[in-house]
Amino acid sequence: MLILTRKIGQSLIIGDDIEIKVVSIDGENIKIGISAPKNVSVVRKELLEVKDENKKAALIDKSSLKKLEKLIKKD
Amino acid sequence: MNIKTKNFGLVSYNEEDVLYFDDGIPGFEGLKSFILLSVDEYTPFKWLQSLDDTDIAFVIIDPKVVVKDYKVEINEETVKLLDIKDLNHILVFAIVVIPDEIEKMTANLKAPIIINAENNKAMQILLDNDEYMIKHPILKELKNADTHS
């Protein structure tokens, strides 16, 4: 991984038209501004994990429901 | 109104019960309308049933059943998007994943579903803090919780 040091207000350019700017720093929180063409998707990395998790959650079927019902009764 | 669902057969609901996810749910961006289903046998779980694709339903749970002092920070963006006037009218749920080995079931406490009960607008948000996990095991907590309250 390429690692660069930047100060508040400074930017990086990726390719021809993507700019990443350090906007502000407050303790552990770093605000980052991103300018990119509309067709470039920018998401927080955790969102991809949430997507996967949602897809798994939606797979619920009758057999899992039965197991769940049993589990609740046991309690 | 009625819909035929994969898991619960025919379900009737009222127009005013419909929840509107304007941007869908991550992974299901096309699904915008849902209803909450409660089935007694499954307490403390509830269902978030899609009206756009009746095969899709999520098992959800009040995160406070899992973590007693669970707190969400609602940021300005969420307040705007859901047109929130009063934080007391917010409902919060965590989506549950039930794998084949049901003992390994988890709840997504990091990305809760937020519902504004005043206008039925809803969305799944991603919390910024590292306190909560996307895959929070819940079996232990369920056993300790009073599921009949």
pLDDT higher at A65 or A16:
A16
pLDDT higher than threshold 80 for residue A70: yes
Q: Which residues of chain B have pLDDT under 70?
A: 145-149
Beta carbons of A47 and B134 less than 8 Å apart: no
- Given a cut of 90, whether residue A63 has pLDDT beyond it is no
A52 touching chain B per CB within 8 A? yes
Of A47, A64, A67, the CB nearest to B126: A47
Residue in chain A closest to B8 (alpha carbons) equals A62
Rounded to 5°, angle at Cα A47 from A43 and A48: 95
Contact with chain B for residue A28, Cβ under 8 A: no
Which has more pLDDT, A15 or B100?
A15
Closest-CA residue of chain A to B50:
A58
Q: Cβ separation of B98 and A52 shorter than 8 Å?
A: no
**Tens of pLDDT, residues B120-136:** 999 999 998 788 999 99
ipTM above 0.85, yes or no: yes
**Band of the pLDDT at A30, cuts 50, 70, 90?**
very high
